[in-house]
Structure 1
């Protein structure tokens, strides 16, 4: 039995057209939005409390948590708001819950004058500077490498797919992580949606993937969540369409169920990830491997309509990133190019 849950991060602009990030977003306002989001009974059986939550919710403030000298959590520097779902066997049930949460969240954020932006990496800033220096307690909480990753994570956003498989051992789940390590560069171009950086066009399709290629944080990681092994796949860019989101999830599900693809990698391949980020399916190696993945996944996932659309995207190298680049070339406006891109309802 395969169960899947997802997490998706959302970035916003305010009514004045200001991109809300680690410098311009105010934690108290974001917390008010989360406080207004509904609580569902028994969610604490599946979720941990995030930030300053008293009860775990399906929406929370995502960002970099700050602590005082006594180690008490005092605030979260927001990079946005995150929606998470319960784990499901049925993907339609998963997407229904996600859509309901999205609509509820957008109704609340609209009252604050916020509107969502579809981006997977900050399109204007390439570095994070904290207003308040880290105290010694905060420095001691993480290794220097983990601290650097946590701070720089304020710049990127995406879709996370969480997979658990009943009865699978630690060794079996680890093998699937190694499988995802290898095949990640060949499935992520379907999700690409970050063609901007430092206020200009990236030559490729996903500056997020390009920037993260050499990072220690892997695209797939095995975690223990409340006693269950869960693979968290973090390779995808942000996704603005319900049908595409279903397809992206099915790709991961199909990869973990498939028994014919035998290549593995202990770690992700930075150079292959960069090649994927730059060229997508225009690159023949990426395209050939992706065709192989689609054929394998089609044999275990019966959804012809989804795979017809993925094949169309593969053979035309279509993506949100391409549409955003075209919009920017027409308007010269990055914010306009990443606005009004969500179609879940």
Structure 2
């Protein structure tokens, strides 16, 4: 059944890779011990390679419904060399509802798991790769790579993004022009620090507990985009009217709003709820905040304290109320119901990082289809939090 709102939703979700066979079952795998060319060949025959609704990356790596993610490395002459593999990403074509997008994501996830399983690999979920203290360029960047990264800001923060994982939630609203899309992107950018704690799943770093709830948000918010919106290339001025604007690579991208700040949440119900939270915030007409800038200090307070920070808690409460009201006004009962669990999390100041610490889990082993329900996450987290209070 399509949404009562004229919105298309597409999902991108980043996963870690882990062993499913041998003496080290459950151990994470990445650029330290994965060969890109070998793994790429194993995953090359995949669904969606000819889907016209999805853009293809310059190197030909980003094509189809799944592809390897990581840091692109080049020879000194500019030829592509390899990819320092951080994990794998699934992306869905645009769907007519959040539910349809999630169903597509789970279907593709199952196909990917079957393929990986034939080679002793599986998926894992966390906001941050907990194996490494940092990602080091190995070998060091050559002159060509240094120049490329100085000129192309899409490479900004690769030393961070090669260790961080999240969903990109893509929304397109029928009939909205570029001015309205930009206004909404600026709005999401403004309110993002208040809502990202719903997803926090990075309380471990370099194999040890981190003092805050999201090491990912702490390091990422200073160097990677929070939100983007895509316009026709000919409509993009130089310099752009906003740093949030990007040129559409294919026509269907025009009007797309892409939110990138959530951690890779180890709970399918939370992913659905966060999608509806963004839709409600986009539709809301009561909250007026907008910005092109990243509120770094506020993001870092949120990353450290979550909803225990009074300003973050108050802001999240305002956003949740406004989003719920907007979804009610637009006749979206499924979305309203999905936000109930966010209200429950907010009331108890909980996020997935509390569950991960309580269970001593540095990551969820498996895909989204096997993540715990929100009720399990909530009760385990609250019990441990109460014990420690």
Q: Same fold (TM over 0.5)?
A: yes
Distance 2:366 2:32 in 1: 24
Aligned to 1:126: 133
Change (3 A) 1:205 1:34: same
How far did residue 51 of structure 1 move?
4.3
Matched, 1:213 2:218: no
Aligned to 1:260: 286
* Cα deviation digits, residues 190-216 of structure 1 (max 9, x gap): 11100011221111111101112322x
Q: Contact 2:53 / 2:94 at 8 angstroms: preserved in 1?
A: no
Change (3 A) 1:224 1:3: farther
Give the counterpart of 2:13 among 5, 8, 14: 8
* Cα deviation digits, residues 91-123 of structure 1 (max 9, x gap): 111111101001111111122212322211121
Change (3 A) 1:11 1:171: same
Distance 2:156 2:178 in 1: 28
> Which sits farther off after the overlay, 123-132 or 254-263?
123-132
Distance 1:100 1:295 in 2: 32
In structure 1, the residue corresponding to 2:288 is in which secondary structure? coil
Aligned to 1:135: 142
Distance 2:130 2:151 in 1: 26
* Cα deviation digits, residues 265-322 of structure 1 (max 9, x gap): 2212111111111111122221121111111111222334312211111111222211
Aligned to 2:44: 35
Aligned to 1:333: none
Change (3 A) 1:246 1:297: same
Distance 1:8 1:209 in 2: 16
TM-score (norm 1): 0.90
Aligned to 1:340: 365
Distance 1:50 1:83 in 2: 18
Q: Contact 2:30 / 2:86 at 8 angstroms: preserved in 1?
A: yes
Q: Contact 2:198 / 2:345 at 8 angstroms: preserved in 1?
A: yes
Give the counterpart of 1:239 among 261, 265, 269: 265
Aligned to 1:158: 166
Q: What is the aligned residue count?
A: 335
Q: Unmatched 5+ residue regions in structure 1?
A: 329-335
Give the counterpart of 2:247 among 224, 245, 251: 224
Matched, 1:274 2:338: no
Q: Contact 1:240 / 1:344 at 8 angstroms: preserved in 2?
A: no
Give the counterpart of 1:168 among 172, 176, 194: 176
Distance 1:126 1:231 in 2: 32
Q: Unmatched 5+ residue regions in structure 2?
A: 1-5, 230-245, 328-332, 371-389
Matched, 1:183 2:191: yes
4+ residue segments displaced more than 6 Å: none
Change (3 A) 1:151 1:213: closer
Aligned to 1:59: 66
CA RMSD of aligned residues (A): 2.1
How far did residue 81 of structure 1 move?
0.5
TM-score (norm 2): 0.80
Distance 1:37 1:240 in 2: 25
